[in-house]
Amino acid sequence: MSSLGIFAMSWRMVAALCLCGAGMTAAQEGGTAATSTAAKNPDQATSTGAPALKLTLQDALVRARKNSVPFQSALTDSAIARQDRWQAGAALLPSVTYDNQAWYTQLNKTNDVIFIANNAAHEYVSQGNVHESLDLAGVSNFRRATALAAAAKARAEIASRGLVVTVVQNYYSVAAAQQKVLSAQKAADEGDRFLKLTQDLERGGEVAHADVIKAELQAQDRRRALQEAQLGLLNARLDLAVLLFPDFNDNFEVTDDLHASAPLPTLGEVQQHAARDNPDIRAALETVRAAGFDVTGARAGYLPSLSFDYWYGIDARQFAVNGPNGVSNLGSSAVGTVNIPIWNWGATQSRIKQAELRRAQAKRELSLAQRKLLAEIKSLYSEAETAMNELGGLSRSAELAEESLRLTTLRYKGGEATVLEVVDAQTTYAQSSAAYQDGAVRYRVALANLQTLTGVPTTP
């Protein structure tokens, strides 16, 4: 585990111990509601007194792209692939070098050089060389590098869209956790008020002591729920902080636009954009193209290759522009070479077979990516549509549960309802509020998942 992970885990342990201590103190002091800075103002639940950094979703996305190691790794791979393409293109162009050599050759008894390829006992070479080599393999290698660079770029886009989903989920989880803390605080306060109500009614002889016991049990349960909500907020903030900040800064606020309007595009729009902009399909297509150029390059092993060299400079007994007799030592020469392959024990055929196998596999993976895209369009769109339709019902349920709690409490005061009805109404309110926040997060994440298919931003 990394030091950053250990640090985050330590924060969670400290927070849990503090929350448990707070709960024990509250119970010992007669059941007063547990409160904290996060409950009073969840946006400012930070450990320092410095002004909190205000983050919108777009701010969080920008920071995550800078600090996400997997995303930066994908960008690095894309940049490396572009350099591979540059190098493959440069290999097709003439190269220029300048060589400097000094040769010493043994002489025989007649003061002639022993090696027939050498010209004198002392020979100096200082020449510039222009070299060009042309073959089908080099052209295929350049085209293959181009396709691989495009595939790497598409994979970087895949990583970027996946990062959006992660950020959206963590960002709105913090917003939802803040709302859950507020709802839990309200439910805890309501539990305390109801406990006081039953105690007052018991002293007036209007209810039995069993009602007080049930109300106290419910109040303790609401306080525990508040502590769990505060712990959930802390963990959500820590998870987002690890994702956004390289130096682990938990002094920030998120813009609470969880329940802002976010329309769902039509299925036709999603299908249209997915067919044109899906990076998984682009990456698979470019991989097939690269595999095809691999086959072409392997088959080039059967064909002749052409090279050309041109030299200009000195190749003389003296390292000088002019010799002792005043004749210039500068000169030029050129050579053209045609290399015709004859026999290599089937190595070329083996390379062709390898390339054809890789191309066949790339085609199968492309077909799988296309089928998965069709399935994911229907699945993710149905998920988003279902989450959107349920969100309206969850909102209405939360409103009704709050109103039901108010009316049931009034009926209990009037002697028309039992303590069990009030407790049930409190529980329903707490569950409905939490479900509404979870439903909003689910819808936002579903929209972000659609973006991984279409590339069209679906979050504000």
Check: CB of residue 237 under 8 Å from CB of residue 46: no
| Whole-angstrom distance, CA of residue 57 vs CA of residue 164 | 10
Token digits of residue 392: 């309206």
Any domain includes 459: no
Structure pTM?
Answer: 0.76
Q: At what angle do helices 57-67 and 136-203 cross, to 10 degrees?
A: 130
Any domain includes 460: no
**pLDDT computed for residue 442 by the predictor:** 95
Check: CB of residue 43 under 8 Å from CB of residue 247: no
In a 13 Å sphere around the CA of 3, the CA atoms on its Cβ side amount to 3
Per-residue model confidence as pLDDT tens digits over 325-337: 888 989 999 999 9
Number of domains in the chain: 1
| Whole-angstrom distance, CA of residue 166 vs CA of residue 181 | 22
| Whole-angstrom distance, CA of residue 270 vs CA of residue 437 | 26
CATH of the domain at 264: 1.20.1600.10
**pLDDT computed for residue 46 by the predictor:** 47
**pLDDT computed for residue 316 by the predictor:** 87
H or E stretch covering 377:
helix 347-413
3-state secondary structure 58-127: HHHHHHHHHHCHHHHHHHHHHHHHHHHHHHHHHCCCCEEEEEEEEEECCECCCCCECCCCCCCCEEEEEE
Check: CB of residue 292 under 8 Å from CB of residue 286: no
Any domain includes 315: yes
| Whole-angstrom distance, CA of residue 205 vs CA of residue 188 | 26
**pLDDT computed for residue 114 by the predictor:** 72
Residue 53 has what DSSP assignment? E
| Whole-angstrom distance, CA of residue 305 vs CA of residue 340 | 7
H or E stretch covering 441:
helix 419-454
Any domain includes 217: yes
**pLDDT computed for residue 49 by the predictor:** 57
Which SS3 state, helix, strand or coil, does residue 414 take?
Answer: coil
Task: Please list the ranges in the chain whose pLDDT falls under 70.
Answer: 1-50, 116, 456-460
Token digits of residue 128: 């510039």
> Could you tell me which residues come within 8 angstroms of residue 149 by beta carbon, excluding any fewer than 6 positions away?
78, 81, 82, 84, 85
**pLDDT computed for residue 50 by the predictor:** 67
Structural domain range at position 260: 3-454
DSSP β-ladder status, 95-104 and 305-316: unpaired
Q: List the end-to-end C-alpha distance of the chain, in Å, as a whole number.
A: 35
Per-residue model confidence as pLDDT tens digits over 275-308: 888 999 999 999 999 999 999 999 999 999 999 9
